[in-house]
Amino acid sequence: MKATQFFISTLKEAPADAEVVSHQLMMRAGMIKRLGAGIYNYMPMGLRVIRKVERIIREEMERAGAVELLMPVVQPAELWQETGRFEKMGPELMRVKDRHDRDYIIQPTSEEVVTDIARQELRSYKQLPKNFYHIQTKFRDERRPRFGVMRGREFTMKDAYSFDRDEAGATKSYESMFAAYKRIFDRFGLAYRAVAADTGAIGGDLSHEFQVIADTGEDAIVYCPTSDYAANIELAEGVALLPARAAAANALVRTPTPGKSTCADVAQFLGLPLTQTVKSLVLATDELDDKGDIAKSTIWLLLLRGDHDMNEVKAGKVEGLRGGFRFATVSEIEDHFGTKPGYLGPIGLKKPVKIVADRTVALMSDWVCGGNEADVHITGVNWGRDLPEPDAVADLRNVVEGDPSPDGKGVLAIQRGIEVGHVFYLGTKYSKAMNATFLDETGKPKLMEMGCYGIGVTRILGAAIEQNHDGRGIIWPVSIAPFEAVLCPIGYDRSEEVKTAADQLYAELKAAGVDVLLDDRGERPGAMFADWELVGVPQRVVISDRGLKEGLLEVQGRRDAEAAKIATTDVVASVL
């Protein structure tokens, strides 16, 4: 590629709304251009990186036996009504109407469509296992789009979906995807951790997030430096709460007046680590006994952050709920429970909670547990209006550095991460809702066992930059750099020798398979170097009259303090 043919547009200053370094640098390097909140043009320089990310993903998906297809961005609501997600998903789901007033959605993910394909196409056990994937535009109407491509509203995701005959097969598919993800993130050249993640509404224990380590990450991960233990902190805290949840459920059925548990009951059994950000608490369950009371240990605990109209909570319109110390929307909970919102029972907090220690909070009297009759539990909720606004997620942490690792093999450390990938065993959640069956060896219909596997293609760019930059700009890992090397001839427009040497080296590098750019703009060296340091090209070769006289060119890696003088004839080998 030659610079004059390509499109280069660098900026000295980042726009004021770019809060994190990756967003600033991507804007300055001309990789993206904002079109609206969370919506970006991917400019030529940025698109080259995206294509390289996609290529690596495709290669590893194919290696793992996944097959590529492409599912539509705009999807008929009917499929989403089958699983109930059309109604239950919160405002993140973009719903649109066509000219006939028919409902559609812009896909945030594709479980419904892929399951619809599977139930029509995969009829016999002989066709299983199958793993379909695509790399497609997603839309999620994020409450707070920010950090450029890291939390966009329109973004690109690779999503894969596996279909298996049974749980054992699905576990194998999951493991194969897990291994593929490791190869992918290794090839990206990023420092990451695969951490156990909350399976939330689906349950089971097969879910891992791939987290790129970065201080600006929105997630926190806990790991044990002396063992393999690593988890999203949400899970670490959720796990700590599991026994408490079970006990709480029992406690609630045992209260003399069902639905009227006191604060003491709740606090004692939950061992609540509430903080000032929590203004209310909601208990929900999918299993009610014949009297309509909470029956089993599947109780969920939602901590409400901020003031919310309970009618909105009921309608699934509120985000920023935490359930069992993970973020959970009411719609997510409902999605799992498959029940009407009426089963969500809030506990009204009549007085602000008081902080007694940095980690635990006294919850004193004035709690009233919601009953299970429709609407009873959404009345009389009194919010602590004087409380500070909910802010950092960290406020709710109750796992801290130095806590013992759950595997007993050391103590926990905490670091921040960016979720770039997520693998998830779904079981029969979608196949059941959509009746996706196949005929087994005995000719009987059986539900397919599913898994889903996402990678945030565009988010990778932000994550890679958060991890690899310096004061001058981006430092791309070579595998995903927009160009692997840039040739910077000094005086390309004036010196015949320089031009000839640069053109020749360019041809040789291209022939050797190097993705090289020749900067033929005739820019002054300072401006030219600043551009390529900002863009983050891993290798730079400077061709000058002075060097040529000595038969030398200057080769400098983006992280090197100084250039190495290399004989003209050895340059190709040194760049390779």
State the residues that interact with ligand ATP by CB under 6 A.
Answer: 109, 140, 142, 151-152, 155, 157, 419-422, 454, 456, 458-459
Q: Whose Cβ is closer to ligand ATP: residue 259's or residue 421's?
A: 421
Q: Whose Cβ is closer to ligand ATP: residue 148's or residue 489's?
A: 148
Distance CA 267, CA 378 (A): 20
CB of 44 to ligand ATP, least distance (A): 21
Distance CA 160, CA 70 (A): 11
CB of 421 to ligand ATP, least distance (A): 5
Distance CA 344, CA 300 (A): 10
Among 314, 397, 422, 540, binds Mg ion (CB under 5 A): 422
Q: Whose Cβ is closer to ligand ATP: residue 377's or residue 459's?
A: 459
What residue 86 binds from ligand ATP, Mg ion, none (CB within 5 to 8 A, per partner kind)? none
CB of 182 to ligand ATP, least distance (A): 15
Which range touches Mg ion (CB under 5 A), out of 27-35, 72-80, 411-419, 558-566?
Answer: 411-419
Q: Whose Cβ is closer to Mg ion: residue 164's or residue 419's?
A: 419
Distance CA 358, CA 248 (A): 24
Is 319 in contact with 329 (CB distance < 8 Å)? yes
For Mg ion, the nearest residue by Cβ is 422
Which range touches Mg ion (CB under 5 A), out of 416-424, 425-433, 478-486, 494-502?
Answer: 416-424
What residue 152 binds from Mg ion, ligand ATP, none (CB within 5 to 8 A, per partner kind)? ligand ATP
CB of 209 to Mg ion, least distance (A): 6
Which string of b and e fits 283-300 if b means at least 16 CB within 10 Å? bbbbebeeeebbbeebbb
CB of 487 to ligand ATP, least distance (A): 34
What residue 155 binds from ligand ATP, Mg ion, none (CB within 5 to 8 A, per partner kind)? ligand ATP
Q: Strand, coil or helix: what is 525? A: helix
Binders of Mg ion among 272-301, rule CB under 5 A? none
Q: Whose Cβ is closer to ligand ATP: residue 200's or residue 346's?
A: 200
Q: Whose Cβ is closer to Mg ion: residue 154's or residue 419's?
A: 419
Q: Look up tokens 């309509």; give the residue.
A: 292
Q: Whose Cβ is closer to ligand ATP: residue 332's or residue 554's?
A: 332
CB of 138 to ligand ATP, least distance (A): 7
Q: Give the end-to-end CA distance of the chain in Å, rounded to a whole number.
A: 17
CB of 494 to ligand ATP, least distance (A): 46
Q: Whose Cβ is closer to ligand ATP: residue 89's or residue 420's?
A: 420
What residue 234 binds from ligand ATP, Mg ion, none (CB within 5 to 8 A, per partner kind)? none
CB of 442 to Mg ion, least distance (A): 37
Closest-CA residue to 110 (of 534, 524, 450): 450
* 44 class by beta-carbon count within 10 Å (0-12 exposed, 13-18 middle, 19+ buried): middle
Q: Whose Cβ is closer to ligand ATP: residue 206's or residue 542's?
A: 206
CB of 189 to Mg ion, least distance (A): 23
Tokens of 273: 């680590």
What residue 456 binds from ligand ATP, Mg ion, none (CB within 5 to 8 A, per partner kind)? ligand ATP
Query: Residue count at the site for Mg ion (CB under 5 A)?
Result: 2
What residue 157 binds from Mg ion, ligand ATP, none (CB within 5 to 8 A, per partner kind)? ligand ATP
Which range touches Mg ion (CB under 5 A), out of 46-54, 179-187, 414-422, 445-453?
Answer: 414-422
Alpha-carbon separation of residue 241 from 187, 363, 383, 399 (angstroms): 37, 17, 24, 11
What is the DSSP-derived secondary structure letter of residue 146?
Answer: B
Q: Whose Cβ is closer to ligand ATP: residue 109's or residue 162's?
A: 109
- Per the omega criterion (within 30 degrees of 0), is the bond before 404 cis? no
Other beta carbons within 10 angstroms of residue 336's beta carbon come to: 20
Distance CA 447, CA 352 (A): 48
- Which own/partner pairs from 126-129 qualify as long-range (CB within 8 Å, at least 24 positions apart)? 127/438, 128/163, 128/164, 128/165, 128/169, 128/438, 128/448, 129/162, 129/163, 129/164, 129/165, 129/169, 129/170, 129/172, 129/173
Is 346 in contact with 377 (CB distance < 8 Å)? yes
Give the E-state strand segments of 39-139 in sequence order: 39-42, 67-68, 74-76, 94-97, 103-106, 130-139
For ligand ATP, the nearest residue by Cβ is 456
CB of 140 to Mg ion, least distance (A): 6
Q: Which stretches within 151-197 are classed as H helix?
A: 167-188
Identity of residue 323:
G
In the structure, how many helices (H) and strands (E) does the chain have?
16, 31
- Summarize as ranges the residues that interact with Mg ion (CB under 5 A): 419, 422
